[in-house]
Amino acid sequence: MEILKTISTQLPVMESFYTIQGEGFYQGRAAYFIRLGGCDVGCVWCDVKDSWDATKHPLIAIDNLLKQIQNTPAEMVVITGGEPLMHDLSLLTKTLQSAGLETNIETSGSSKLSGSWNWICLSPKKFKAPLPEVVPFANELKVIVFNKTDFKWGEEFAALVSPNCKLYLQPEWSKSQEITPLIVEYIKDNPKWELSLQLHKYINVP
């Protein structure tokens, strides 16, 4: 899979769309999403498993991606996956920022950091832990809570991120009715954390 790192002027894109950010710090803000193909993390509860195999998705030139974005009023672009850092994103972010666009990324941090980012959302996964050198760059730590042990696991990363990093706990969607009340009580006892909900799934937008 490391061969993906050689891609510079084009990237495997599973989907791209203009919507609102449904999670975390920028929840509710308009954003253009680019979901890249390729992931070696393998979360059992992943809701976009079709993204895992990068070869199943068309390679799209970065210049063409920019044209698609510029057909919308988007000011912020969110790169997600899959695991987007499996690719070298330096040229992508340079192109987007040169056009006046904000660049945000959602990543597990399990691959080497590349690109220039206005905002990095680190969502660590037990299936393949973040690289230690990526963690300090997180602007936002978003821990997906699947079971009770995830609270303690999330605290391990909260101790490693920068003091200004925003901390979020988010219920795994399929267990949200069971997990959300636990998160609420945890946040009440540990107010450094905030609740993140997948707003886009509640209002049925991409």
Q: Is the pLDDT of residue 124 over 90?
A: yes
- Determine whether domain 2-202 maps to CATH 3.20.20.70: yes
Asked whether 63 and 95 are in contact (CB, 8 A), the reply is yes
Q: How many alpha carbons fall within 13 Å on the CB side of residue 94?
A: 7
Instruction: Give yes or no for residue 49 having a pLDDT over 90.
Output: no
Q: How far is CA 184 from the centre of its chain?
A: 23
pTM (2 decimals)? 0.92
From 119, 104, 100, 110, select the one nearest 40 (Cα to Cα): 110
**CA gap 54, 25 in Å, rounded:** 28
pLDDT band for position 183 (50/70/90)? very high
- Other residues' Cβ atoms within 10 Å of the Cβ of residue 125: 18
Name the amino acid, one letter, at 87. H
Burial class (CB in 10 A: 0-12, 13-18, 19+), 132: exposed
CA–CA gap between residue 157 and residue 38 (Å, rounded): 24
% pLDDT > 90, the chain: 82
Distance, in Å, from the CA atom of 172 to the CA atom of 183, rounded to the nearest integer, reads: 11
Note the pLDDT of residue 45. 66
